[in-house]
Structure 1
Amino acid sequence: MADPSSLSLWHAVSRDRRERPSLAGALDVDLAIVGGGFSGLSTALHTAEKGLSVAVLEAEIIAWGATGRNAGFVVPNFAKMDPVNVTAQLGPERGERLIDFAAGSADLVFDLIERHGIACDALQNGWIQPAHSPEALEKVKSRADQWARRGRPAVALNASEVQALTGARGYAGGWMDRSGGVLNPVEYAVGLADAAEKAGARIFEHSRVMSIDRAADGWRLKTAGGSVRAGKVLIATNAYGGPLDPTLSRTYFPLKVFQIATAPLPRAIRSRLLPGGQGVGDTRRNLFTFRFDSANRLISGGMHVFGAGADARVPQTIWRRLGRHLDLPDLPPLEYSWSGMAAVEPDFLPRLVDLGPGLIAGFACNGRGIAMTTAMGKVLADWADGANASDLPLPFAPPSPIPFHGLIQHAPNMLLPWSMLRDRLDAA
């Protein structure tokens, strides 16, 4: 495995982490969790707090996958769907339950951080979505109103308010959810792991699950060094499941996302940008994001068009874009760059996949990983404790492979040039 400090900025700057053992021998638990990311760790914590026995099996180290490779935004809403769209698709009762689930997800994250004393540079000052065009502004004003009518701290912003809050010029306006925020995702994940272990969960690193087989008394999971008998199993690998269940890999679009961090900005420049420390993700199809970490590094991300040399080319492209959009001709140089894989559902909604009696896979990212997966873990603990999965607030159904997945799985990346052109036309 690569040196953990080379995986991302967050791995490099996080405090000394404690090595956890690999699985050796046989173990018997109520719930086995495959994957040591946000969803697996949150599920482990909330399930252990109910008094059930839990084992987490992580193939590499805690926060090795998308959990440790994102930008650290805590966003309590859906990536592409507004509440009115969710109720139209799922129906009023199911839709409102999912909306309530999402609405409280950021508060849950920050409550856990406070309750367990997790040191992860957490700041709950809000998440801002600026509108890049007049048409986008009408959509985000409606979005803010829909959330505000449900009692959420959502407010519409005019152009001058967006500029004052972000320091970025040229936006038509936007909206902010004041319950959102930012944090160091690796330190948050490690904090969840520590809290889960204190509650009684057992966490194993370097314990790749090689098979999951039905047994008379539940399920049996095998690793190179041992086995686990579990009454129930959660697959929480997101886009990093590999060959564990090939059917699952055809139910989402794998999206490679790059992130960068500059060297720390000078104080005079830093004071102009995001004085309140919020996170920003605008309405462009080629999404533009930015935030600061605790050392005043400016962080941004983006997708890429397929081609040779992407790992070297794309970070430079994101860096130049950052300087252009924020009017920073003297933008400090790149200090870190990294990438990760996200699992994007066709409807951009979180979901639970029914893989058999007592066997579930959870997908809740779609660009909203920290908040949604943490909240998913809390409701999955109810399932582990006997609740019917179909009664949970998340959609629950057998796997639904995407037709012609082999041909269209990389469509989001391949369509990026068209998305960029449409963004330019919107701004013209």
Structure 2
Amino acid sequence: MPTQLCDSLWRASSPAAPVLTALEGRLEVDVVIVGGGFTGLSAALHMAKLGMSVAVVEAQEVGFGGSGRNVGLANAGLWLEPNQLDASIGAEAGSVLYNALAAAPEYVYGLIDEYGIQCEATRNGTLHAGVGKAGLAQLERRYEQLTLRGAPVQLLDAAEAQSRIGSDKFNSALFDPRAGTIQPLAYARGLAEAALKEGAKLFEFSPVDKIEPTSGGWAIYTTSGEVHAEKVILATNAYSEYGVKEQARKFVPIFYSQLASKPLSDAQLASILPNKEGVWDTCTVMSSFRLDQQGRLVFGGMGGEGNILSNWASQRVTELFPILSKVKWDYCWTGKIAYSEDHLPHCQQLQNGLFSVAGYSGRGIGPGTVVGAELAQWFAGQRESLSIPTTLLRDIPFRELKRMFYEVGARTYHLGQQSHALS
């Protein structure tokens, strides 16, 4: 069992957050952003840099939601295979979106360097690890499609994949040298510091009570203050509890939990991810693992927190890495992912001047950062459109049933894997 259940490693190891206050009184700006995650903070940073007055209103703390609970894989592209992307939105739009997000890691690490963000930035690539015949076939498809688009990816055979990962349970891996890992909460806090440096205003513990149109745009009301702006960006993603609940109906929230071990020994680190790549697998109920800079193994899987998940994680890690026969977890935490029906992020203009951005489907670091920068350029008239779709999304029918289906499926899978190990 974790010794600090539901306590995040990222909170324990992140540099201090900027000192912010709750919104009080009346404020007028060009743009107000609801949500202090990757998208909202990136948008605020870039808008302020372009001379716009901008305020971020966060219900909890900066990075409280999915951004600060992230796995920390700064990947290129999307979950969808490139051909699936083209089939979904058309080849021309697919090419625009693919190219924008293929360059996302470069943009993220560029911001980290520019603003000196201390977030354990490690750019040694990522490995998409193949499991079974279906997993190998998926990676072969992705490799073919990505290389046709100029991506510098490598398809590793079983021997090379097992050597790079430190486990004999994988038959292949797709290596992407463009990507890497970061400490996600530290990155979010670093974006906040950068936004403040450029002149943005940030407010914490200011949940939105209501949003109303005005003669000059929009008014955002919190318990103790209000912000008036020409434009509003709702950037709450899967955390739409305050003032923007209607947007939650557009996406299915999926829980993803992670556990972090005690620091591994030198002998263990010599064999497990010796090159420090981040890894996720091709299983239907996906899991991920990586190291932090203290040598802790961070292991995650779909589903909520609790004994079932931690027991499965312990058993699965022992299967993958026999050298960790008695793994001890120091931290366990859970975040929410917003899955759209097409697995693509969207920017919807709900009404004139009122925008909603969400649906990263678990891949928010690069896309969130890039979309935030694009929103700033779009509002400043420096670009004609965004790379992501701007179509209005319908409410997802039976949303709660679908959430329960994913949750029960993940729980059943975890229990089944434990039973299989004991049989």
TM-score w.r.t. length of structure 1? 0.92
Does residue 290 (structure 1) correspond to residue 285 (structure 2)? The answer is: no
Match of 2:313 in 1: 318
Q: Is the 8 A contact 2:312 2:415 kept in 1?
A: no
Match of 1:327 in 2: 322
Distance 2:416 2:178 in 1: 31
Q: How much has 1:304 moved relative to structure 2? A: 2.9
Instruction: Spell out the pairing of 1:383-398 with structure 2 (5 A cutoff).
Output: 383-386=378-381, 391-398=385-392
Match of 1:203 in 2: 202
Provide, for residues 261-317 of structure 1, a one-character-per-residue CA deviation record: whole Å limited to 9, x for no partner.
000111101110111110000101121211000110000111237xxxx53442232
Q: Is the 8 A contact 1:182 1:279 kept in 2?
A: yes
Q: How much has 1:417 moved relative to structure 2? A: 5.8
Give the partner amino acid of 1:352.
Answer: C
Instruction: Provide closer, same or farther for how the CA distance between residues 422 and 344 of structure 1 changes in structure 2, counting only shifts above 3 A.
Output: farther
Match of 2:54 in 1: 54
Match of 1:155 in 2: 154
Match of 2:369 in 1: 374
Distance 2:70 2:315 in 1: 20
Give the partner amino acid of 1:143.
Answer: R
Does residue 404 (structure 1) correspond to residue 398 (structure 2)? The answer is: yes
Greater CA deviation, 107-116 or 241-250?
A: 241-250
Give the partner amino acid of 1:177.
Answer: D
Q: How much has 1:72 moved relative to structure 2? A: 1.1
Distance 1:20 1:41 in 2: 14
Distance 1:422 1:106 in 2: 36
Distance 1:350 1:133 in 2: 29
Provide, for residues 381-412 of structure 1, a one-character-per-residue CA deviation record: whole Å limited to 9, x for no partner.
123224687x2111112231112224333221
Q: Secondary structure at the match of 2:67?
A: helix
Distance 1:114 1:364 in 2: 27
2:348 to 346, 353, 369: 353
Q: Secondary structure at the match of 1:66?
A: coil
Q: How much has 1:364 moved relative to structure 2? A: 4.3
Does residue 30 (structure 1) correspond to residue 30 (structure 2)? The answer is: yes
Distance 2:137 2:312 in 1: 30
Match of 2:144 in 1: 145
Give the partner amino acid of 1:357.
Answer: N
Could you tell me which runs of 5 or more consecutive residues in structure 1 were left unpaired when the two chains were aligned.
none
Distance 2:95 2:347 in 1: 17
Stretches (4+) displaced over 3 A: 386-389, 417-424
Q: Is the 8 A contact 1:74 1:106 kept in 2?
A: yes
Q: Is the 8 A contact 1:31 1:384 kept in 2?
A: no
Q: Is the 8 A contact 2:6 2:334 kept in 1?
A: no
Q: How much has 1:341 moved relative to structure 2? A: 1.1
Match of 2:19 in 1: 19
TM-score w.r.t. length of structure 2? 0.93
Give the partner amino acid of 1:414.
Answer: V
Instruction: Provide closer, same or farther for how the CA distance between residues 40 and 57 of structure 1 changes in structure 2, counting only shifts above 3 A.
Output: same
Greater CA deviation, 224-233 or 150-159?
A: 150-159
Q: How much has 1:375 moved relative to structure 2? A: 1.1
Distance 2:64 2:242 in 1: 18
Match of 1:178 in 2: 177
Instruction: Provide closer, same or farther for how the CA distance between residues 250 and 183 of structure 1 changes in structure 2, counting only shifts above 3 A.
Output: same
Q: How much has 1:243 moved relative to structure 2? A: 4.8
Q: How much has 1:413 moved relative to structure 2? A: 1.3
Distance 2:40 2:52 in 1: 15
Q: Is the 8 A contact 2:260 2:329 kept in 1?
A: yes
Q: Give percent identity, aligned residues only.
A: 34
Greater CA deviation, 376-385 or 221-230?
A: 376-385
Greater CA deviation, 131-140 or 284-293?
A: 131-140
Provide, for residues 354-381 of structure 1, a one-character-per-residue CA deviation record: whole Å limited to 9, x for no partner.
2111111111421211111111111111
Q: Is the 8 A contact 2:218 2:229 kept in 1?
A: yes
Q: How much has 1:15 moved relative to structure 2? A: 2.2
Instruction: Provide closer, same or farther for how the CA distance between residues 177 and 329 of structure 1 changes in structure 2, counting only shifts above 3 A.
Output: closer
Root mean square deviation of aligned Cα = 2.1
Q: Aligned residue pairs: how many?
A: 414
Distance 1:6 1:197 in 2: 30
Distance 2:258 2:292 in 1: 13
Give the partner amino acid of 2:345.
Answer: P
Q: Secondary structure at the match of 1:71?
A: coil
Q: Is the 8 A contact 1:76 1:368 kept in 2?
A: no
Could you tell me which runs of 5 or more consecutive residues in structure 2 were left unpaired when the two chains were aligned.
419-423
Q: Is the 8 A contact 2:317 2:324 kept in 1?
A: no
